[in-house]
Chains A and B, each alone.
Chain A
Amino acid sequence: NAGVTQTPKFQVLKTGQSMTLQCAQDMNHNSMYWYRQDPGMGLRLIYYSASEGTTDKGEVPNGYNVSRLNKREFSLRLESAAPSQTSVYFCASRPGLAGYNEQFFGPGTRLTVL
Chain B
Amino acid sequence: QQQVKQSPQSLIVQKGGISIINCAYENTAFDYFPWYQQFPGKGPALLIAIRPDVSEKKEGRFTISFNKSAKQFSLHIMDSQPGDSATYFCAASKGSGYALNFGKGTSLLVTP
Chain A residues within 8 Å of B, Cβ to Cβ:
4, 31, 33, 40-45, 48, 50, 56, 58, 90, 92, 97-100, 102-108
Contacts and interface: CB of A to CB of B under 8 A. Distances in A.
B44 A97 contact: no
Nearest to A91: B43
A88 B101 CA distance: 17
A4 B43 contact: yes
Interface stretch (B12-20, B67-75, B91-99): B91-99
A108 B97 contact: no
A100 B32 contact: yes
A42 B43 contact: no
Contacts of B86: none
Contacts of A99: 95-96
The 8 closest A-B pairs by CB, nearest first: A105-B43, A42-B102, A42-B104, A43-B102, A45-B99, A102-B46, A100-B32, A98-B96
A42 B89 contact: yes
Among A50, A58, A103, which residue has the most Cβ atoms of chain B within 10 A? A103
Interface in B41-95: 41-46, 49, 51, 89, 95
Nearest to A46: B99
B98 A97 contact: yes
B43 A107 contact: yes
Nearest to B95: A100
Given A58-B99, A102-B49, 13 more contacts: A4-B43, A31-B98, A42-B89, A42-B103, A43-B100, A44-B102, A48-B99, A50-B98, A56-B98, A90-B43, A92-B43, A98-B95, A106-B43
